[in-house]
Chain A
Amino acid sequence: MSPELILFLVLSLVAIAAAIGMLISPNPVYSALFLVINFSTVAVFYLILGAPFIAMAQITIYAGAIMVLFLFVIMLLGAEKLAPGKVLPYQKPLAIGLAIVLMVESVYAVLARNPSDAEIIVPTEAANSIDAMRDLGIMLFSDYLLPFEVTSILLLVAMIGAIVLTKRAKGEQE
């Protein structure tokens, strides 16, 4: 067993355990934290596959920004104190049925795979070097300058909108 394989197996176990933990944890805060673990392990997968940029993006954007936002919202709304909501009567059998279908499908896809195209395409060295990231940055500020700038305006508008909808003037009733 190569060290890479051992690393992969350990990480997969952690990722799967974290995903299950997220699903069954009754407390939304714990669920969110489990998801952070899951995202981080997936980021390490990207590293093993030789895609450092996607790995870093995964950590900063998903595990970092988005999950912290989730945690904030959960804590601000006090969702962890909420009583569990009503469960649809057909939800459990439906979920189990769909999960089994997915399981069978993925096992079939792995077993029935044509051995000739079994190789995973690993990105070339050049696509992952620092040069590639520099090129990405240059593209962003040359060919894609306008979309980049419009995105910044979009974020500004979203911010203004959120404040307009939530900020109360002095003396305004809840």
Chain B
Amino acid sequence: MPPINFNDIEVLLPLIILVIWACLLLLVDLFIPKKHKWLTALLAAFGLALTLGFTLSQLGSESNGFCATGKPSICMVVLDGFSVLVNALLLLTGLLGVALAYGYLKRMGIERGEYYTLMLFSISGMMLMAQASDLIIVFLALELLSLPLYVLSAFARSNSDSQEAGLKYFLLGAFSSGFILYGIALVYGATGSTSLSQIFEIASVGTSSLLLTIGAALILVGLGFKVAAVPFHMWTPDVYQGAPTPVTAFMTAGAKIAGFAALLRVFGSAFPNLSEDITPILWALSAATMIVGNLLAIAQTNIKRMLAYSSIAHTGYILMAFVPYGNPEVAPVSIAAGLFYLFAYTITNFGAWGVVIALEQKESKGLQISDYAGLRRKYPVLAGAMTVFMFSLIGFPPTLGMVGKFYLFRAVLSGGYTGLAIIGVVTSLVSAFYYLRVVVNMYMFAGEPKTDNEFWLRFTIAGAALVTVVFSLVPQGLFAWASRAVLKLF
């Protein structure tokens, strides 16, 4: 029997800790009485914080793990600056997700401890995705992050909308997994390897093979489903509307981050040679996603549905950063801008969904945009925070969204994609219409909104609003971190 390789364990240490913690939490939760489920939430948050600590301790270290015997260049997972940054972002997402979920689950009467366990498992899948350097791991990580999300979408079992969301997400998710798997099979057929570095080496010597291109395109389709890019977005509004709101908040941020991490890993390290074929496809996907997402959001009257379309639109903006991925001069800046935008979107998004949770009442009441009328008069702080989030989603100063869009458009322009940048700016202007409608409702109209006063919810909303404004004034440090993280990839 080969000796245990401690380097392998070190590379995956945060992930291993999180998985063990999730398993233990599942057992411990059985002994926590129904009245004290706050303890489960607290333990889950503690596990996430612990993992975050271990992740940050990996800053600066670079290594490969689970390599083939005798071939140290063919490895299953990798640890680098990019993976540390993405993992930290994912764990932050998890912490925010727990904070939003606790009060909501109790209020809606769907409080069960497995919620947090499933969330931890989903995050471990996302983290594995960010570290994957083999297509088999990419696929398994995708399943590991998706399965808990399917279940969480249907977590409010007595609510038929939630059941529908779970089933729909499961069917279409399985469908998209099929695309990815088929793509992986074709890539394996063309190159004889599933290791990303091997695929790159084999693909860069031979002539371009049609099989490889089709395989890559199928993987792109599958990942497009996961990040909800147009035209693979049809499931998004129904699932995001039907799922319990904290799950939606977690999905919109977490699944997106993981999906983009996979996109970058797979296409950045295995298929840079295919960029001639893939870049136009990415261009079209990005443009279509921005246009369709923003235009369809205008017609929505339900806030969850509106934010769902807004999430599709933001997928388009982030996809923009990936368009020049095959050009080593522009790609690092552009990808760093994409990562920064993901951070900005995550914070703003959680804040906005937090406000939605605060106003949501039982039986899906309080979810119309008109229900926000009069919020300023009764709850000025909440209305102020929501205004900040809406401005940030538009890209209006002084918010993180504005800084993110600035970096993004600058990178895209320097890559020579002027048309895409113009589409981005115009669709942002269009988006102002529906985001500002929420603000107008809160400030101009009279109404009697009811809100929830749970501490952690308030804490998350206030924190997110604060970060959105403060970090927009000092964004350089974070952007520099993101730039350093991706520099090694190209």
A interface residue numbers (CB < 8 A to B): 142-147, 150-151, 153-154, 156-158, 160-161, 163-165, 169, 173
The digit string for B206-217, where 1 denotes a CB below 8 A from any CB of A, is 000000000000
What secondary structure prevails in chain A residues at the interface with B? Answer: helix
Find A154's partner among B69, B118, B147 (CB 8 Å cutoff). B147
Smallest CB separation, B360 vs chain A (Å): 22
- Chain B residues lying within 8 Å of A142, measured Cβ to Cβ, are 2, 69
| B26 is an interface residue with CB less than 8 A from chain A | yes
CA distance in complex: A150, B131 (Å): 13
- Chain B residues lying within 8 Å of A144, measured Cβ to Cβ, are 136
Find A165's partner among B26, B76, B77, B157 (CB 8 Å cutoff). B157
Please provide the chain B residues from 96 to 150 with a CB less than 8 Å away from any CB of chain A in the complex. 112, 114, 117-118, 121, 124, 128, 134, 136-137, 140-141, 143-144, 147-148, 150
Q: Is the CB of B77 within 8 A of A158?
A: no
CA distance in complex: A140, B376 (Å): 61
Please provide the chain B residues from 1 to 46 with a CB less than 8 Å away from any CB of chain A in the complex. 2, 8, 12, 19, 23, 26
With A154-B144, A157-B121: A164-B77 Cβ-Cβ less than 8 Å = no
- Chain A residues lying within 8 Å of B136, measured Cβ to Cβ, are 144, 147
Beta-carbon nearest neighbor of B70 in chain A: A143
CA distance in complex: A154, B68 (Å): 23
Size category, B interface: 35 or more
| B66 is an interface residue with CB less than 8 A from chain A | yes
Q: Is the CB of B76 within 8 A of A146?
A: yes
What would be 6 A-B contacts, judged by CB atoms less than 8 Å apart? A150-B141, A154-B144, A156-B23, A157-B144, A160-B26, A160-B117
Q: Is the CB of B2 within 8 A of A161?
A: no
Residue pairs across A and B with CB atoms within 8 Å: the count is: 62
Smallest CB separation, A40 vs chain B (Å): 27
Please provide the chain B residues from 396 to 424 with a CB less than 8 Å away from any CB of chain A in the complex. none
Find A145's partner among B19, B26, B66, B144 (CB 8 Å cutoff). B66
CA distance in complex: A40, B124 (Å): 39
Smallest CB separation, A120 vs chain B (Å): 20
Smallest CB separation, A153 vs chain B (Å): 6
What secondary structure prevails in chain B residues at the interface with A? Answer: helix
The digit string for B143-178, where 1 denotes a CB below 8 A from any CB of A, is 110011011001101100000001000000000000
CA distance in complex: A160, B144 (Å): 12
CA distance in complex: A74, B65 (Å): 44
CA distance in complex: A156, B158 (Å): 25
Q: Is the CB of B151 within 8 A of A147?
A: no
CA distance in complex: A161, B143 (Å): 13
Q: Is the CB of A146 within 8 A of B137?
A: yes
Smallest CB separation, B35 vs chain A (Å): 14
- Chain A residues lying within 8 Å of B151, measured Cβ to Cβ, are 160-161, 164-165
With A153-B121, A157-B121: A146-B114 Cβ-Cβ less than 8 Å = no
A-B contact sample (19 more), CB < 8 A, given A147-B76, A161-B150 = A143-B68, A143-B69, A146-B8, A146-B137, A147-B140, A150-B128, A150-B141, A150-B144, A151-B140, A153-B19, A153-B121, A157-B147, A160-B26, A160-B117, A160-B151, A161-B151, A164-B151, A164-B155, A165-B166
Find B137's partner among A150, A161, A165 (CB 8 Å cutoff). A150
- Chain A residues lying within 8 Å of B144, measured Cβ to Cβ, are 150, 153-154, 157
With A146-B77, A147-B76, A150-B128: A158-B147 Cβ-Cβ less than 8 Å = yes
Q: Is the CB of B121 within 8 A of A164?
A: no
Q: Is the CB of A161 within 8 A of B148?
A: yes
- Chain B residues lying within 8 Å of A160, measured Cβ to Cβ, are 26, 114, 117-118, 121, 151
CA distance in complex: A155, B23 (Å): 13
CA distance in complex: A31, B112 (Å): 40
- Chain A residues lying within 8 Å of B26, measured Cβ to Cβ, are 160
Which interface residue of A144, A147, A164, A173 has the most chain B CB atoms within 10 A?
A: A164
Please provide the chain B residues from 30 to 75 with a CB less than 8 Å away from any CB of chain A in the complex. 65-66, 68-69
CA distance in complex: A146, B8 (Å): 10
- Chain A residues lying within 8 Å of B150, measured Cβ to Cβ, are 161
CA distance in complex: A143, B195 (Å): 12
Q: Is the CB of A161 within 8 A of B69?
A: no
Smallest CB separation, B77 vs chain A (Å): 7
CA distance in complex: A145, B136 (Å): 12
- Chain A residues lying within 8 Å of B155, measured Cβ to Cβ, are 164
Smallest CB separation, B92 vs chain A (Å): 22
CA distance in complex: A105, B393 (Å): 56
Beta-carbon nearest neighbor of B140 in chain A: A150
Which interface residue of A146, A154, A160, A163 has the most chain B CB atoms within 10 A?
A: A146
Smallest CB separation, A147 vs chain B (Å): 5
Find A161's partner among B8, B68, B140, B147 (CB 8 Å cutoff). B147
Beta-carbon nearest neighbor of A150 in chain B: B140
Closest 7 CB pairs of A and B: A161-B151, A146-B66, A150-B140, A146-B76, A143-B68, A164-B114, A157-B121
Smallest CB separation, B476 vs chain A (Å): 37
- Chain B residues lying within 8 Å of A151, measured Cβ to Cβ, are 140
- Chain B residues lying within 8 Å of A163, measured Cβ to Cβ, are 114
CA distance in complex: A164, B8 (Å): 33
CA distance in complex: A157, B2 (Å): 29
Smallest CB separation, B111 vs chain A (Å): 10
CA distance in complex: A148, B148 (Å): 19
- Chain A residues lying within 8 Å of B148, measured Cβ to Cβ, are 157, 161
Q: Is the CB of A147 within 8 A of B157?
A: no
Smallest CB separation, B232 vs chain A (Å): 23
